[in-house]
Amino acid sequence: MCSPKREYARASNFEKHNIGELGIPTVAIQQHDTLKSKLSEFGAELIDISELDEHPNSVFTRDTALCTPRGYIKLRLGLETRQGEGEWMAATLDSLGESCVGKIKAPGTVEGGDVVLAGKVAFIGKSIRTNGEGIRQLSALLKMMGYDIRVIELPNTILHLDKALMVLGPRQVLYCRGLISKEKIKGFEGIGISCGGDTTANIICLGDKNLIIHRSNSIVIDHLEAEGYIVHNLDLGEFAKGMGGPNCLIMPVERGT
């Protein structure tokens, strides 16, 4: 994770950085701290790194690398102003003793928000940030690890796959009807939602049916609570200003699946 202590509130060109409006620093830090506390409560070991200078989006660590059980893949981000973040995160992971098992090379681009690993299935979104060449390179790396690759074409209105599909459990996924067919989630129990506005699939699965969901995502909260899930609804509105959700703020480094 990367606490928004300085750079997140310093963007001068919103369009260039794809930021809707600046977050309020004190509130953003408070919301980020609340998220960290909730993750710690469920047993996560948190590594909080410093923001990359002049990179307001570095708070969204999910996009900067993809960690697998065999090591990490260095990503080349699709937004020009973020491309230095792949090297920044790689240096951090190297310092932690994590092995690099591959990297995305130009002209390929892949952002971590477009990749959802679910067991031995790798869902990859083809988006305005993740291109065909990046998917080709990433797929080759993941296939060598035994992953079943499922590519999902996304409209330009959907920034990343994690807004349209996320894991709810070992064999359960939350997905946006109309964007993702049932064939793409074959082998999983799917809970479908109609995405749009604040309604997205961008959540964090804590295990044992516990979920973190942004408080404004009320339709999804109501739907999943009715399905027996335990929802921890947190106010992450300062990060919604930067076009991010809960999943965007974390990058799992080591995990069981």
Does residue 2 sit within a domain?
A: no
Residue 101 CB-density burial (10 A; 0-12 exposed, 13-18 middle, 19+ buried): middle
User: pTM for the whole thing?
Assistant: 0.95
CATH number at residue 102: 3.75.10.10
Does residue 54 sit within a domain?
A: yes
Does residue 1 sit within a domain?
A: no
CA distance 26 to 31: 9
Both tokens of 226, joined, read 């009715």
Does residue 110 sit within a domain?
A: yes
Does residue 187 sit within a domain?
A: yes
Query: Which among 153, 204, 139 is positioned nearest to 174, based on CA atoms?
Result: 204
In the chain, how many domains are there?
1
Does residue 171 sit within a domain?
A: yes
Q: Residue 17 has what pLDDT?
A: 72
Residue 14 CB-density burial (10 A; 0-12 exposed, 13-18 middle, 19+ buried): middle
Does residue 256 sit within a domain?
A: no
Q: How long is the chain?
A: 257
Does residue 15 sit within a domain?
A: yes
Residue 235: which domain range? 7-248
Rounded mean pLDDT for each run of 10 residues along the chain, 257 residues in total: 90 70 89 98 96 95 97 97 96 97 98 97 98 98 98 96 97 96 97 96 97 98 98 97 96 80
